[in-house]
Amino acid sequence: MVDAEDVRRVALALPHTVEIPSDGFDFRVADKGFVWSYPERVPGKPRVIRLDIAVLYVGDEAEKQALLLGEPDVFFTTPGYDGLPLVLLRLGQIDLERLGELVTDAWRMRVPEVLRGGVQGADA
């Protein structure tokens, strides 16, 4: 089981990562977000930043669907994310090793090749 501080440590260990000031966590590389805390919106209520759920960049719809169908206890989505290459990740359902893999893969999909600097991931 991991938490927001684990996300912060993993993300900031990746080269050229910047944390954007927010009520939760928000990490970018080359001005492109790759993992951030979920801003839950319930109609008629104020937005709530969920530190137990991360929004994770996954690259494309096929990868998104594979994660959602393969591990519905870990990954989910909401109508606000329809058509976007993003999944919601329940941090309490994974360990630190898996978090590292997921965040690194998201980072690799967003970082320009010139900044990659030898960081390995699933598609390396």
Helices 4-12 & 96-110 angle (0-180, nearest 10) = 50
Cβ of 111: how many Cβ atoms within 10 Å?
21
Using DSSP bridges, classify how beta strands 26-29 and 48-57 pair: parallel, antiparallel or unpaired: unpaired
The pLDDT tens digits for 9-34 are 999 999 999 999 999 999 999 999 99
Structure tokens at 117: 């600097």
Give the pLDDT score at 115.
74
pTM of the model: 0.90
The neighbouring-strand residues paired with 108 are: none
How much is the average pLDDT of 99-118?
Answer: 88
Residue 108 has which token pair?
Answer: 């690799």
Which whole number is the average pLDDT over 78-107?
97
